[in-house]
């Protein structure tokens, strides 16, 4: 039981969620370590959605609204932390949810499907190994791509992964939106739109922006995207990480 007046209450609640997800088999064991890495970056970023992240989220919302076949990739950490928000994202945008795992096993695919369905998801893609295609250049089990989802997608959201997938998906002509608290990860560096923020804040904010952009005309959405410079935005995040600016949080 975490006392609600603990200075790190919110962070400890998330940690507890992650531990429980691991015990249920939703999370890979290395998902625990990945969460710890994210926690450390979040601490240094002040545990808030900074201006650069807000900008990237707005542009991501515009890209999703303009997309013909948007797909949202779901791994263990994403399912553990934001399954309901992911379902809302797919409902708001008409995009598809696809399970894509680095540590793939039929048992984990089944339990993550159940988590998404319990959160209200209709269709969930990426389930049946026999039906899946594989993106040839990707050397890990993340190469899976369903014929209705990731394979033909024009815009793809890839949360919480550090690997070569973002680069290769981008090379295949897709718009890649990443969510990763590490601005220096390969995923953040290669994505078209890099959201450097905690997924527990980023997805609700993305949903809010998609609602805000309802009825916005296509030219304005395109302008938002065209005026966005991802490398410049990542530089702004790195400035937030400047050690001289650290304000003291609590232990």
Cα distances (angstroms) measured from residue 165 to each of 35, 136, 145, 156:
19, 11, 11, 11
Helices (H) and strands (E) in the chain, counts: 10, 8
The correct pick among 20, 30, 223, 239 for binding ligand PTJ (CB under 6 A) is 30
**110 part of the interface to ligand PTJ, by CB under 6 A:** no
Q: Residues touching ligand PTJ: how many (CB under 6 A)?
A: 25
* Candidate residues 11, 22, 41, 203; the one interacting with ligand PTJ per rule CB under 6 A: 41
Instruction: Map the footprint of ligand PTJ across residues 59-88, applying CB under 6 A.
Output: 75-77, 81
Q: Which positions from 229 through 248 interact with ligand PTJ, judged by CB under 6 A?
A: none
Pick from 57, 74, 207, 65: which is nearest to 149 by CA? Answer: 74
Site for ligand PTJ (CB under 6 A): which residue of 11, 21, 22, 34?
34
Which positions from 169 through 188 interact with ligand PTJ, judged by CB under 6 A? 179-182, 185
Please give the C-alpha separations between residue 126 and each of 40, 89, 136, 145, 147, in angstroms, as whole numbers: 31, 18, 16, 7, 9
- Contact between 162 and ligand PTJ per CB under 6 A: yes
The answer for residues whose C-beta is within 8 angstroms of residue 171's C-beta and 6 or more apart is 137
Pairing between β-strand 70-74 and β-strand 144-145 as defined by DSSP bridges:
unpaired
**Does the footprint of ligand PTJ cover residue 165 (CB under 6 A)?**
no
Stretch binding ligand PTJ (CB under 6 A), from 37-45, 54-62, 120-128, 166-174: 37-45
> Most distant CA pair in the chain: distance in Å?
52
> Could you say which of 17, 69, 103, 208 contacts ligand PTJ (CB under 6 A)?
103
Cβ–Cβ < 8 Å for 85, 207: yes
Among 112, 109, 101, 98, smallest CA distance to 152 is for: 98
CB closer to ligand PTJ out of 203 and 221: 203
Provide, rounded to whole angstroms, the least separation between the CB of residue 29 and ligand PTJ.
Answer: 8
Residue linked to tokens 């250049």: 137
Residue in 152, 175, 185 with CA at minimum distance from that of residue 226: 175
**Strands 133-134 and 124-125: what pairing?**
unpaired
Name which position in 11, 93, 146, 198 contacts ligand PTJ (CB under 6 A).
198
Binding-site member from 21, 22, 38, 93 for ligand PTJ (CB under 6 A): 38
Encoded tokens for 242:
């400047």
- Does 35 bind ligand PTJ (CB under 6 A)? Our answer is yes
Q: Rounded to the nearest whole angstrom, what is the least distance from the CB of residue 30 to ligand PTJ in the complex?
A: 4
Residue from 15, 17, 102, 140 touching ligand PTJ (CB under 6 A): that is: 102
Residues near ligand PTJ (CB under 6 A) are 28, 30-31, 34-35, 37-38, 41, 75-77, 81, 101-103, 160-162, 179-182, 185, 198-199
């Amino acid at each position: 039981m975490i006392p609600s007046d603990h200075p790190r209450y919110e962070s400890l609640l998330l940690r507890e969620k992650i531990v429980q997800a691991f015990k249920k088999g939703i999370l890979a064991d290395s998902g625990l370590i990945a969460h710890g890495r994210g926690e450390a970056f979040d601490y240094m970023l002040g545990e808030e959605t900074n201006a650069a992240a807000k900008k990237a989220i707005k542009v991501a919302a515009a890209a999703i609204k303009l997309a013909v076949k948007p797909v949202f990739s779901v791994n263990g950490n994403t399912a553990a932390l934001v399954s309901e928000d992911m379902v809302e994202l797919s409902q708001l945008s008409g995009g598809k949810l696809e399970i894509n795992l680095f540590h793939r096993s039929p048992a984990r695919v089944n339990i993550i499907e159940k988590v998404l369905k319990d959160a209200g998801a209709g269709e969930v893609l990426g389930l049946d190994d026999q039906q899946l295609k594989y993106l040839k250049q990707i050397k890990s089990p993340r190469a899976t791509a369903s014929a209705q989802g990731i394979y033909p997608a024009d815009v793809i959201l890839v949360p919480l992964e550090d690997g070569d997938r973002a680069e290769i998906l981008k090379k295949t002509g897709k718009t890649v939106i990443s969510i990763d608290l590490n601005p220096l990860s390969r995923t953040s560096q290669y994505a078209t739109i890099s959201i450097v923020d905690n997924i527990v804040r980023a997805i609700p904010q993305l949903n809010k922006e998609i609602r805000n952009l309802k009825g916005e005309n296509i030219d304005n959405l395109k302008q938002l995207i065209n005026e966005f410079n991802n490398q410049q935005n990542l530089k702004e995040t790195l400035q937030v990480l400047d050690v001289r600016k650290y304000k003291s949080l609590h232990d």
